[in-house]
Amino acid sequence: MPDSTLVGLHHEEQHHPELLHHFAEPQQQRDAASLGMWVFLATEVMFFGGLFCAYLIYRRWYFGDFGAASKTLNATLGATNTAVLICSSLTVVLAVWAAKTARRTLLLVSLGITLLLGLAFLGIKGVEYKDKFVEHHVPGASFSFDKVPLPGHPGQYANPRHAQIFFSLYFIMTGLHALHMIIGLGLFLWLLIMAWKGRFTPEYNTPVEIGGLYWHFVDIIWIYLFPLLYLIDRHP
Amino acid sequence: MSMPTTIPQPVERENYLNKEYGVWSWLLTTDHKRIALLYLVSITFFFFVGGFFALLMRLELLTPAGDLVQADTYNKLFTMHGMIMVFFFLIPSIPAVLGNFLVPLMVGARDLAFPRINLLSWYLYIIGGVMMMHCMLTGGVDTGWTFYAPFSTNFTNTKIVEAGLAIFVAGFSSILTGLNFVVTIHRMRAPGMTWSRLPLFIWAHYATSIIQLLGTPVIAVTIVLVAAERALHLGIFDPKLGGDPVLFQHLFWFYSHPAVYIMILPAMGVVTEIIACFSRKRIFGYSFVAFSSIAIAVFGFLVWAHHMFVAGISIYSALVFSFLSYAVAVPSAIKVFNWTATLYKGSIHYDAPMLYAFGFLGLFTMGGLTGLFLAALGINVHVTDTYFIVAHFHYIMVGGAVMGYLGGMHFWWPKISGRLYPEGWARLAALIVFIGFNLTFFPQFLLGYMGMPRRYYDYSHMPEFQVLNVLSTAGATVLGVGYLLPMVYFLWSMRYGKPASDNPWNAAGLEWKTASPPPTFNFDEEPVVTWEAYNYEELDAPHKREVPVAR
Ligand code: HEM
Ligand SMILES: [Cu+2]
């Protein structure tokens, strides 16, 4: 699916139009881009790692309070969002495959659905945030968590301060995750436009591939966040 | 520095400097060599800002009474000095200037893997720097560069969030540099440039990049937590609300200990190149030196709590961290022994870069050995938060890293600028820096051992400390002259220096096999490497002082 719009965009040499001047061959360029994304994801692991570390420490210290706070989260919406993201991972895989095998319609559709699923995730997240706001569970001056029973300790109440630490971590972790989702949406919008213009071919589809890597990573973070935040001490 | 009567003009050929002129050709460049120069100018600026604060502090400490500045101002002085020197000078220094310039040249590539990301990293650095300057000019921060909670989160009324954001942004610039280096070293090596043929400078930068990539995000997220805590009083670091201030210290040092290796590893790489060249010998134990860099990067992540022995961590974890801190000294010692063995029976040339390398060896060894003192629990408890600490880390960071940086600047200056610097002046400057440095910081070991606390602006209860403090301030003045000199003669040589040949030191390494200064894409034809690293037996001695003829 070579694209006529690209002719003339490139310089003297007759190599592939998307090959940048400092690479010897397309393969090298692809390898560099995908290694670059993997390395970047390693830094992301460390970025979230600091938060997970703080979470684990406080969860061990204040297990009961964390359990009580966690129970106020809407696990149904959380589970729905998990499903939404898992589906979007599938559509991302499809998009990569479509780009590699020159299936233009499938590529456009998969990218489009990915975008929609990402938006759905953020919408649901927004509803959850709103609920927390209404319930005064947002840390800060208006925070209140009075007389919430401590799971497993009849007659005792959770310590609001410790619950506030839970909610702080909840908002920071899911907030940073949502920020990554928003960046991902921007990325996929760009991919969609490029795909629309027919930029991706079986020879050149690295952006789809590394965009996909990023998307999967953001999904995986959520796969950890969901049980850690929503499912503390829940019993059927 | 008398001006030569006839100014020799090099035979002009197109290179990265004269290819294009004009501000935009610099500000929008994606050439790693030009970006290196952008960094050079910017970090030099910050070095002098940070140095100015240091000088003010040394002036204050000239007399026991707090007379020149008040306590508040002094607190801000050491904080802004530390933050600027660490995050805006030393961390970017060798990697972003020399590394940026040399990594592609040394591996035989036309550029770094992601040239635009490289430029982005400079812009992030500048944005961070502007924020830091703005924060500084509108009041600054008084917490110390460590911004420990809960002081930073609940009590100080200075601009901690803005400074934090500045460091956050600069941190991403550092991450992007590391990312570029790792990918370039993996994917862009010229044919024949196997891992075991890479210069050890490259191995050192590879190890540095690993730390930048895996450590910096942790300080970034710590800053996010501090900012959130400060804005909303979440309680994450506040003991009153059930939080743990020691957790802050863990997160902070998880980055900031490895960060000292971000500062020293590149200097080790520089010194390795210089020592091999000016001993005219293959480096002794290549693979040991290479893997000791990696070992430092890995073990460096496991010793952070040696900064927290008095912060209330358990005695058992203190023991483990003490032991690990000893362990991390092993790879550094391996390097020192290998450098020494390389010198042994080498035919040594005492050119200026080599003088800096010698300075590095001595001062780094001092810093490293006193680091072992500090890793011992008993001594640590006695001297922690005294001038012993200040002396120790300045021996590593200024004595080690800045010496390495200056040595590297001299060594590669002919490549960077196409001109030779004045050798006599350079040797004199190296000597002045060495003397000034020791005069400044050696007395601080004694002061610290005698019990003078760090971060104090007034020591009038202990007037007997004055003699050593006066020596230290005198040394700082000498040191200042030593730092100004190279700046002056480097600038001078850009115009009046003798033109450099492609390989004025007759050094091994691909960077010397292209023109000085190199063309924009580094090599006229793609190099193919068929020889081992440091093949000095096959090269003649340096012939730098000959004026080269037309190329
Ligand atoms: C690359 C160069 C340098 C770096 C990275 C560096 C780093 C630091 C750091 C991190 C601190 C601790 C700040 C704090 O307590 O929060 C500090 C303190 C200090 N530095 Fe430097 N420094 C450098 C150069 C210098 C030079 C050249 C001088 C001397 C002229 C100097 C003099 C001081 C003084 C007087 C203090 C304050 C000690 C105290 O009151 O505790 N520094 N430096
Ligand atoms: Cu340390």
Q: What is the dihedral of CA B275, B280, B281, B282, to 10 degrees?
A: 80
- The mean pLDDT value for B200-224 works out to 97
In chain A, domain spans: 26-230
Q: Which residue has the higher pLDDT, B233 or B175?
A: B175
pLDDT for A98-146, tens place per residue?
Answer: 999 999 999 999 999 999 999 999 999 999 999 999 999 999 889 999 9
Assigned token pair, B370: 């006193």
Q: What backbone torsions phi and psi does residue A17 show, to the nearest 5 degrees?
A: -60, -30
Q: How many CB atoms lie within 10 A of CB A43?
A: 22
Residue nearest ligand 1's atom 14 by CA: B144
Sign of CA dihedral B251, B254, B257, B262: negative
Interface contact flag, B213 A42, Cβ < 8 Å: yes
Distances in Å between the Cα of A55 and the Cα atoms of A68, A75, B226 are: 15, 19, 15
Check whether B157 has a pLDDT greater than 50. yes
Predicted TM-score (pTM) of the model is 0.93
Cα separation of B260 and B300, whole Å? 9
Asked if residue B13 is part of any domain, the answer here is no
Rounded Cα–Cα distance for residues B76 and B53 (Å): 9
Residue B546 has pLDDT above 80, yes or no: no
* ipTM surpasses cut 0.95: no
Dist. CA B262 → ligand 2 center (Å): 12
> Looking at the DSSP assignment, which residues form a beta bridge with residue A149?
A157
**pLDDT, tens digit (0-9, with 9 covering 90-100), for A185-235:** 999 999 999 999 999 999 999 999 999 999 999 999 999 999 999 999 888
What CA–CA distance (Å, rounded) separates A39 from B228?
28
pLDDT tens across B63-99, in order?
999 999 999 999 999 999 999 999 999 999 999 999 9
Partner residues linked to B499 by β-bridges: B419
Q: Flag the least confident range among A139-143, B275-279, B426-430.
A: A139-143
CATH number of the domain encompassing residue B268: 1.20.210.10
Distance CA B30, CA B33 (A): 9
Looking at all shown ligands, the one closest to residue B309's CA atom is: 2
pLDDT score, position A13: 45
Bridge partners, residue A157, by sequence? A149
List CB contacts (< 8 A) between B187 and chain A. Answer: 28, 31-32, 35
Residue B102, token pair as written in the block: 């040399």
Sequence-ordered list of residues with C-beta below 8 angstroms from that of B385, at least 6 positions apart, any chain: B310, B453, B454, B455
The three-point CA angle B146-B157-B76 to 5° equals: 50
Asked, for residue B95, whether it belongs to a domain, the answer is: yes
Q: Given this model, what pLDDT does residue B11 score?
A: 57
Domain span holding position B283 = 30-544
For residue A129, the model assigns a pLDDT of 97
Q: Which of B208, B236, B232 is nearest to B221 (CA)?
A: B236
pLDDT score, position A151: 86
Judged against a pLDDT cut of 90, whether residue B278 lies above it is answered with yes
CA–CA separation, B146 and B248 (whole Å)? 10
Phi, psi (rounded to 5 degrees) for B14: -70, 130
What number is the average pLDDT over the span B104-110? 96
Ligand 1 centroid from CA B360, angstroms: 18
How do residues A12-47 score in pLDDT, each as one tens digit?
445 577 788 889 888 999 999 999 999 999 999 999
Q: What does the pLDDT average to over B405-425? A: 97
What does the block give as tokens for B218? 């942790």
**What integer pLDDT is reported at residue A124 of this predicted model?**
98
Closest residue of A to B185, CA-based? A32
Provide the angle, in degrees to the nearest 10, between the axes of the packed helices B315-343 and B245-279: 10
Residue B42 tokens read as 């910017």
Q: Residue A153: which pLDDT band, with cuts at 50, 70 and 90?
A: confident
Taking CB atoms and an 8 Å limit, are B220 and A47 in contact across chains?
yes
What tokens appear for A47 in the block?
A: 């970025």
Q: How many domains does chain B have?
A: 1
Encoded tokens for B379: 């001594």
Q: Within a domain: residue B331?
A: yes
pLDDT tens for residues B528-544? 999 999 999 888 777 54
Helices (H), B235-285: 245-279
Sign of dihedral through CA atoms B478, B484, B490, B494? negative
| CATH class for the region spanning A26-230 | mainly alpha
What pLDDT digit, counting tens, does each position of B243-255 carry?
Answer: 999 999 999 999 9
